[in-house]
Chains A and B, each alone.
Chain A
Amino acid sequence: MANVLWLQGGACSGNTMSFLNATEPTVVELVTDFGVNILWHPSIGLEIGEQVTHLLKDIIAGKVQLDILVYEGSIIEGPHGTGTMNYFCERPMKDWVKELSKTAGYVVAIGDCATWGGIPAVPPNPSESTGMQFHKKAKGGFLGAGYVSKGGLPVINIPGCPAHPDWVTQILVAISTGRIGDVLIDEFHRPKTFFTDFVQTGCTNVVNFAQKVNGGFGKRGNGCLFYEVGCRGPMTRASCNRILWNRTSSKTRANHPCLGCTEPGFPHNDLAKGSVFKTMTYLGFVPREAPTGESQLGYFFKAGIEKIWPKNSAITEGSK
C-alpha cells in the first residue's frame, strides 16, 4: 500500500494521458488491485471530501503519510526566481514541491519537463523552467544535487516525452510492493531496467543501419532514418522497441525518427535551424554525431567509406 500524490507544474499532461493508456495493469487496477492509493491527481483523483490545500498542509505537517510524490511538468521559477508564473492553491507550485519533497518517501519525476526541464527550458526559457534534480545534463536542478528523499534515494527520473505508461506503473508498483531495492538507477537517475538498451535495440530497421542505407519519409522498408532525417535511436537509451507503445508500435516502427526524448537535452540542439528532422552532417553525408560507443573519427572513416564506395543497397524490399 502506498499513498501517491501526483502534481503538475509546467506540464502538458501528456504523461497523465500516457499513464491512462496503461494496460497491464490499467490505472484502475493499479488502484483496486495493486495497493496504489491516489491521494490526489489533477485529472483522475478520487473524491476525498477535503480541499486540496488542506491535504497538502496535512502532508507537510506529517498528518498524512506521503509515500510517493509524482511530479509531472517543469519546475517554473520565473519570473526572477519567484515561481509566480505557476500558482497552485494560491502559492507558487515550486514552494509546495520544496516542502512536500522533505516529507515524501520517494520522489518520482515523470517526463522530460520534470526530469531535466524539457521543452519549456529551451532558450530563452521564458518561464525559467528547470527539472527536479537536473537542468538538462547538469545535476542540481530545483532540489539540488544532494537531495535524497526519506526513502534514501535521489529523485527517480522517468524521462520521455511522454514517459511510457509501463515505465511509470512498474516503478509505482515496485515502491508500493516493497521492491524498490531491486530498482537500480543510472547516472541520470533513470531506472536501468528501462534505460540501458538503446531505442535501436529491437528497431526493425537495424539491418539498414548496419549497411548504411538511407531512408526517408513516406516509403516502406527503404532504409535507416539515422542518415538523413535525424533519427537518434543509436544514441538514445530507452526500451521503446522492446516495450512497444500503445501495445502496437514505436516511432521507428512507424518510420518516425527517434527524437532522443529520454536523454537529457531533448529537444537536442535546442531546435536550431537545420536540426529538426534533418541529420546534421559533415561534408554533407557523414553524421555529425556518432552512435554511442563508436569513436567519432572511427565512425566517420567507416561510414564515409561505406556510404561512398562501394554503396550498399537495401536488402529489405518494401511490401504493401
Chain B
Amino acid sequence: MAVVKELNISPVGRVEGDLDVKVYMENGVVTRAHTQAAMFRGFERIMQGKDPQSGLIVTPRICGICGGSHLYSASSALDTAWGTTLTPNALLLRAIGQSCETIQSIPRWFYAIFATDMANKKFANKKLYDEVVKRFAAYVGTSFQIGVTNSALPVEVYALFGGQWPHSSYMVPGGVMCAPTLKDITRAHAIMNNFKNQWLETVWLGCSIDRYRKVQSWDDLMEWVDENESQRNSDLGLFIRASMEFGLDKFGQGCGNYVAYGTYLHKDKYNKPTIEGRNDALISPSGFYNSHTKQYHDFNHMNIKEHVLHSWYQDHAAAHPWDEPIPTPVTSQNLEHTDFNNKYSWSKAPRYLDNSSEAGPLSRCLMYTKPNNLPHQTKDHLIKNAFDKIGPSVFLRTLARVHEAPILYDNIETWLRQVDLNGEFYIKPEEKDGKGFGATEAARGALAHWIEIENGVIKNYQVMAPTTWNVGPNDDEGKSGPIESALEGIEIEDANDPVEVGLVARSFDSCLVCTVHAHDAKTGKEITTFKL
C-alpha cells in the first residue's frame, strides 16, 4: 500500500453530488485524466409513469443552482408536445426568470467558488498576489462579501414573478402562473438598479455598462483596462491583469468543440412553440462551433447522442435521447477500485455529431459571432476575437462567464419594460400524448429535456445537463470528455500541489463537488488528493 500524501488545496467545491477527477502525471505533465461523477438519484426513472407535468416540480430539484433553467426546459418540452400558445408576456417573464438566475450565478460563482483559488499560495511570488488576497480571499476579502451578498438581488426579481428562488415552478405549459402588476415591475427595476449600483458598475466594472459594452475585441479590452485607474482597479480589471500575470491564459484548452442550445425565446417569435421554429426565435443564439475546422453549424437536437459504455448503466448503443431507455443502474465502485477501461461514472457521455463538446458561457459567447445570426439575436464579438487571438484557456472560459453580466443586465431591463400589463400571461393548453423537446442555456451551459407522453403519463423523460456535457466520461470510441481533454497535457509546477488541475476543472463550473486525485503515470501511485 503506497503511502498517500493527501493535501487539501481548498475545500470550496461544487454542488449536486460529487465529482472525482483522477489524473496521471509524468515529468510534471498530465498524461491522462478521468472524471467520475459519484452520485446517483435516478430522477428520470422517478418520472416514468407519472403525471405529464411532473417535470415542472421534479426537474428544478435536480439542481438547486439551475432550477429556473430546468423549469424553462421542462415547460418548453411540454409546450412543444402539447402545441400550446404562448403570449408575449409569458415568453418575457420566462426569459426574465432565466436571465435573473444566470446573472445571479456570475458574482456568486466568481467570488465564492473561483476567485478564492487565485489566492492560492502558488501565486504568492506574483506582484498582484497581495491585492488578489485582499479582495478575493474567502469571507474576509473586501469584495467577497459584496459579491456574495449582492448575488441575492437578481433572484429577488425572480421571486417577484416566481414566488421564490430556488425551486419555483411558475413556468407552465401555456405560459406563466403569475400576472404581475406595475408595483412588481417597478420594484424589479429598482432591485436590478441596486445590483448595478452596489456591484456591477461600481465594484465589478469601474465604469458604466454602456462604456464596457463598447469592448468588442481583445485589443479593445486591453485598452479598456488601461484607460483609467477606475477600470484598471475594478475587480474585472484586477481579474484580467492577475490572470495574465498568473498565466491562467496558458492552460486548460479543452476539446475545441463548442455546443450551445441558445435561450431567451423572443416574445413575438415563439407564440406557436415548435421544435423546428426554435432556433430562429432565440435571442441568445444556438449553434455548434468546431475550432479545428473553424466551421459554425446550425444546431439540431437530432445530432445529439448519448453514450453509456463507460457509465454505470446497462449498455445500449449510443442513441438520441428520444430513443434511449430510462437508465438502469449497475454496480458502481469507489475511485480506488474503479477500472477506467470499463464503466467509471454516473454521468453519461453526450456527443454532438460524434464530437465531445464543451458547454458553457464560452460556447454561448462564440455563438454571438455566428455569421448567419438574425437581427434580433445577441451580437457581441469580444470572446470570438479573443479566442482567435489568444486561444481557449482557464482565463478565456472565465472571462466569457463574467462578460455576460452587462449583456444580461441590459436584457433584463429591456424585457421588464416590454411586459404589457394589459396583456395575457397564460392560455390554458389542451393536454395530449406526444413527444417534446425543451432547452435553454443554464448559467453553466446547454441544458435540455426530452419528453414522451403516452396514455396521459410520462413514458420517457431524458435530461441532459451542461455538466453532463462537460464531466462526461469517454465515449464508445474511447474519446475523452471535455474536462478530461482539458486536463491532458497541462504542466504541473508542484506535483504535491497541482493547483493547475483544480483551476481547469473549476473553469467549467461543473455543478459537482469536485475531488482531484493525482497519480504517478509510471508507478500508478497516488501522489495527492484534494477537494475543489
Contacts and interface: CB of A to CB of B under 8 A. Distances in A.
Interface of A: 8-18, 20-23, 26-28, 31-32, 40-54, 74, 76, 78-79, 84-91, 118-120, 122-127, 129, 161-162, 216-220, 240, 245-257, 259, 267, 270-277, 318-320
Given A20-B151, A250-B164, A84 B331 contact: yes
21 contacts: A8-B15, A8-B17, A11-B16, A14-B64, A20-B112, A23-B149, A43-B112, A51-B531, A86-B17, A87-B332, A88-B18, A217-B175, A217-B428, A218-B175, A220-B181, A254-B162, A254-B168, A267-B58, A276-B54, A276-B56, A277-B172
A52 B11 contact: yes
Interface of B: 6-8, 10-18, 38-43, 45-47, 50-54, 56-58, 61-65, 67, 90, 108, 112-113, 116, 138-140, 144-145, 148-149, 151-152, 155-156, 158-170, 172, 174-179, 181-182, 187, 191, 329, 331-336, 346, 421-422, 424-428, 456-457, 511, 513, 515, 529-531
A227 B149 CA distance: 39
A13 B65 contact: yes
Contact of A47 (B50, B138, B166): B138
A246 B456 CA distance: 36
Given A79-B329, A240-B164, A256-B168, 5 more contacts: A21-B165, A31-B139, A43-B113, A126-B42, A219-B179
A137 to B, nearest CB: 19
Contacts of A85: 39-41, 329, 332, 346
A120 B62 CA distance: 9
Given A12-B64, A251-B164, A259-B57, A76 B178 contact: no
Contacts of B169: 256, 259, 277
B46 A122 contact: yes
Contact of A273 (B42, B50, B515, B530): B50
A218 B172 CA distance: 10
B11 A40 contact: yes
B58 A271 contact: yes
B145 A28 contact: yes
A254 B11 contact: no
A284 B346 CA distance: 44
B332 A84 contact: yes
A259 B424 CA distance: 24
B179 A220 contact: yes
B64 A17 contact: yes
Nearest to A91: B334
B39 A120 contact: no
B42 A51 contact: no
A9 B113 CA distance: 20
Contacts of B161: 254
Nearest to B420: A320
Contact of A18 (B46, B61, B64, B158): B64
Contacts of A220: 179, 181
Given A217-B177, A254-B161, A271 B13 contact: no
Nearest to A53: B6
Contacts of B47: 271
Given A87-B332, A276-B56, A248 B179 contact: no
A273 B177 contact: no
Contacts of B336: 90
A257 B331 CA distance: 40
A43 B15 contact: yes
Contacts of A254: 159-163, 168, 170, 177-178
A240 B515 CA distance: 37
A28 B402 CA distance: 22
Given A14-B64, A248-B160, A254-B160, A126 B18 contact: no
B425 A218 contact: yes
A62 B241 CA distance: 45
B159 A246 contact: yes
